[in-house]
Amino acid sequence: MKKNLILLILIIFSLSIVRAQQPRGIDLGEYAFGIPAEQLNFNNKSPFTLSFWLNIKEFAHKDQGTLLLSIRNPEDLYPLNDWGWMWTCIINDNSLESAIRAGGSFQSSKELTTAKLEILEWVHLSFVFDYESYRKLTLYVNGVSVHEINLSIYSYDWKKANIIAIGGPSVFRAPLNASIDKVQFYNKTLSQAEVKGCMTSPLLNDESLLGYWDFEDDCVTDADGFMQADKGTIKAIMYKILSNSSGYSTGTEIQPFVFGEGVDPESVVQGVEENNITESKTKAFVSNEILNIENAEGINSVVVYDATGKVITTVNANAATSTQIALPSTIKGVLVIKVNNDVIKVVSNN
C-alpha cells in the first residue's frame, strides 16, 4: 500500500515537472480567439496593440488564402460581419496582406508584404493601431515592421459589438489551423522597442496592459465561456464563426477553449547582442553591427535573412573557419543565418 502511494506521488510530481517544462497555448482549429470590444470603451481614434505568438500547423488556403486576424461586427451586415472593419490574411503564397475598411462598404486601404509565414515555426506578431488624422496600422513580425497602412480617408466608426479575432474563417478565406500563446492586449501603441520587449515577456508594469493570456495555469472560464486574462481586467472567448452554405458569415457561437502546444520565448528569441548561440557546429553572434560566424569544420556558403524572409546578403567564405559580415545599421531583430546546411537564429539589437 505504501509503495503504491509513493509511486502515485512520484508520478504526479513527475507530471507536474513535465507540465512546467512544456508551455501550453491554445489550439484554434477552425475557431477564433476573440476579444469582445464592448468591454474596452474604445472609439474610432483609440490606439491599441495586439501581440501574440503563432505556430501554424498547416495551410488549407481557399481562394483568398487564410484569415489571420479580423475586427468584425457579427451584428452588422455584409461585409462588416464577415471581412470586418480590418483584416490580415495569409494569401496563397503564404505572404501577409492587411486592410482597413474606408469610405464605402467595399472600399479599403491594403498593404501587401513579402514576409512569409512557415508551418511548424513559432513567430511573434504585433498589430499596432494608431490614429494620426486617420487610422494607421503597423504590423511587426518578430519585432520587425513588415508593412504599414495609413488611411487617407475616413474609416468606419468603432462599434461596441466588434470582435477582435485571431483566426476563424470568412468568405473565400480558410480558418487558421494553428496554436497561439502569450496573447497580450494594450490600450496604447507600442513602440518598436516595446514590441521587441514583449516578445520575451509582457510589459507587466505598464498600466496599458489590459489583458495577458498565458494559458499556463487554470485558465478557468465562467458559465458563459469567458476566460479572464491572467493579468489585466478583460476577458476573451473562443468563437465558432457561423456561416451559410455559400460561406458568408451569419453570426457566432461560443466554444470551449482547447489547449495545445505553447511557446517558450526564451528558446525562440536567442543570441541577443554578444550572447553566442551554438547549434550543430556553427556559432554566431552580432556585435557592433558585425555578424560573427565560426565553424571549426569550415564555412562555405552563408545566407543572411531578415525576419520577413528577405535575403540581406550572401557570402562565400572559401572554407574559412570564421568570417565577419557587416550588417546595415537599419537591420534589427531576429536574423536567420544559413551556414552551409545549418540554419540558426540570432538577434541584432544594434
DSSP string computed for 76-116: S-TTTTTT-SEEEEE-TTSEEEEEEEBSSTT-EEEEEEEEE
pLDDT band at 1, cuts 50/70/90?
A: low
Is residue 129 within 8 Å of 186, Cβ to Cβ? no
Interior angle at CA 264, CA 261 and CA 267, nearest 5? 125
**Angstrom distance (rounded) from CA 301 to CA 344:** 14
Residue 46 has pLDDT above 90, yes or no: yes
Say which residues have a Cβ less than 8 Å from residue 103's Cβ, sequence separation at least 6.
153, 154
Is residue 51 within 8 Å of 125, Cβ to Cβ? yes
The cell for 121 is: 515555426
**Angstrom distance (rounded) from CA 203 to CA 31:** 28
Higher pLDDT, 32 or 347: 32
Mean pLDDT in residue range 297-316: 77
Mean pLDDT in residue range 37-64: 95
pLDDT for 133 equals 84
Is residue 292 within 8 Å of 282, Cβ to Cβ? no
Q: Is the pTM of this model over 0.85?
A: no
Same topology between domain 22-266 and domain 270-348: no
Is residue 84 within 8 Å of 66, Cβ to Cβ? no
Residue 320 has pLDDT above 90, yes or no: no
pLDDT band at 9, cuts 50/70/90?
A: very low
Sheet strands (E) in 44-195: 48-56, 66-72, 86-90, 95-101, 108-116, 122-132, 134-141, 144-150, 163-167, 178-186
pLDDT for 350 equals 55
Percentage of the chain with pLDDT > 70?
86
pLDDT for 40 equals 96
**Angstrom distance (rounded) from CA 6 to CA 3:** 5
Rounded mean pLDDT of the chain?
Answer: 85
pLDDT in tens, 176-215: 999 999 999 999 999 999 999 999 999 998 999 999 999 9
**Angstrom distance (rounded) from CA 250 to CA 262:** 31
**Angstrom distance (rounded) from CA 340 to CA 345:** 14
Residue 187 to residues 130, 247, 347, Cα–Cα distance (Å):
10, 33, 27
Higher pLDDT, 5 or 125: 125
Which of 100-114, 154-168, 178-192 bottoms out in mean pLDDT, i.e. has the lowest? 100-114
Mean pLDDT in residue range 275-283: 51
- With 0-12 / 13-18 / 19 or more C-beta atoms within 10 angstroms meaning exposed / middle / buried, residue 191 is exposed
The cell for 46 is: 483609440
Residue 225 per-residue DSSP state? S
Residue 38 per-residue DSSP state? G
Distance of CA 178 to the CA centre of its chain: 11
- Chosen CATH of 22-266 out of 3.30.43.10, 3.20.20.140, 2.60.120.200, 1.10.10.410: 2.60.120.200
pLDDT in tens, 229-260: 999 999 999 999 999 999 999 999 999 999 99
- With 0-12 / 13-18 / 19 or more C-beta atoms within 10 angstroms meaning exposed / middle / buried, residue 221 is middle
The cell for 9 is: 506521488
Higher pLDDT, 13 or 270: 270
**Angstrom distance (rounded) from CA 142 to CA 196:** 7
Say which residues have a Cβ less than 8 Å from residue 295's Cβ, sequence separation at least 6.
281, 282, 283, 321, 322, 339, 340, 342
Residue 321 has pLDDT above 50, yes or no: yes
* Selection from 95-104, 128-137, 150-159, 339-348 with the highest mean pLDDT: 128-137
Parse the chain into domains and list their residue ranges: 22-266, 270-348
- Chosen CATH of 270-348 out of 3.30.2350.10, 3.30.300.30, 2.60.40.3080, 3.40.50.150: 2.60.40.3080
